[in-house]
Amino acid sequence: MTSTKDTGPAVDHPSGDGRVRVDGGRPWPITLDNWQDAPFSRWAFAHAEEIVPTATVRRAGPAALPETVPGAAGDSGLGRLPVPFGGTEVPLEDFLAASFADAFVVSDRSGVRYESYRGAMDPRRRHLLMSVSKSLCGLLIGQLAGDGLLDPAEPAAGYVPELTGSAFGTATLQQILDMTVAVEYSEDYHDPASHVRLQDRLAGWRPRLAGDPENAFELLSSLRASGRHGERFQYCSAATDVLAWVAERVTGIRYADLLSRRLWQHLPVADDAQMTVDPAGFAFANGGMATTARDLAAVGRLVLDHGLVGGRPVVPAGWLAATAAGGDRRAARGTVFQGIHPRGSYRNHWWVTGDDHGSVYATGIYGQYLWIDPAAGIVVVKFSSLPVATTGDWSRAHARVFRRICASP
């Protein structure tokens, strides 16, 4: 976090240097080196399947999420709602423009109250979720636990022996879900030498370098412990890929197909989702999911409805209740997250705010959000192409805006 005073996150979207041209709405040239960077990202995040290999996460049945409430989109009162930003209040539409929103959907139990699309997006186009993907993995693991296929109290090596000797081998699945594994791992998105950038390369998101591990399995098995597990929150993207590996091992089904069979086909979604996969077919579970904004709102509705869809259980209610109750707040002391949400914690791959509304959310770099407010009965989805991966100021600004929306009539 660069400041504790919200004077408004200030950042200009790079416009290119004259060598960038636009052909048919597509900035050119897009490469594995630049597609995650502005100005290319606004198009690329909505066309990931044209850049990296993807697997289909198939839906089943017609969409049940109602169409936009009459008058909700376009010239709506919500679009003009004053929201806190930059030390003042601005119309929501102005915040969306300033925060590089690609898609924005507000849904309540009656349907979609408001939606807005910019750049390359439209209601039927998928957008990368980045680390919102992690929270969907958390729902899947909850299903598998509910069916007795795995026990969160057991160490990961009990399910994937190849993890023996690694940091994750001795960590319990619950510690992995709560990001309290002590592991030598760098999550610095801008450091080419970081582990998270290495994972990008292994996933096919960036060009490989000489000396990189053969595949993701080799990397996950090689990560070493840095201390005792369960004592400190350490956000680590590799944790989600370990959970995906466990899920595949206990079911014998590929991760993308598992998401389809156990989650996507049970939701009132209108479109198939996608999951990027590496050359070996292993899913990039920690960030590779892509959905439409409306379909992600259906995931939020699932959480609001205690895991039920049409009265049928999809995710165990007890798992969602434990998630909403939060994790160990002490483990997150001193983090930027608790600077924004003082009673916050992390549980089952979801961010738990600890606020009076019981709000929980999923978030990903470059401004991806799924915000769920149980007290207000509102779900907010935001896809973005921010030119910076993450900052405390932007996180604080989004939380304030989402809370204002959820408090509006």
Give the residue numbers annotated as catalytic, written as ranges: 131
Least Cα distance to 348 among 307, 291, 301 occurs for 307
Between CA 384 and CA 104 the distance in angstroms is 9
CB 337 within 8 A of CB 396: no
Between CA 128 and CA 276 the distance in angstroms is 9
Between CA 249 and CA 372 the distance in angstroms is 31
Greatest Cα-to-Cα distance within the chain, rounded to the nearest angstrom? 58
Element (H, E) at 379: strand 378-384
Residue bearing tokens 């619950």: 174
What letter represents residue 141's amino acid?
I
CA dihedral 241, 196, 135, 353 (to 10 degrees): 140
CB 205 within 8 A of CB 147: no
Count of positions (residues) in the chain = 409
Between CA 232 and CA 214 the distance in angstroms is 30
DSSP 287-317: T-EEE-HHHHHHHHHHHHTTTEETTEESS-H
Least Cα distance to 128 among 377, 367, 388 occurs for 367
CB 176 within 8 A of CB 239: yes
Between CA 12 and CA 255 the distance in angstroms is 38
Put residue 306 in one of left, alpha, beta given phi > 0 → left and psi -120 to 50 → alpha: left
CA dist list (Å): 356 to 318, 345, 404? 20, 14, 14
Between CA 19 and CA 132 the distance in angstroms is 33
What letter represents residue 304's amino acid?
L
Q: Which two tokens stand for residue 12?
A: 């200009």
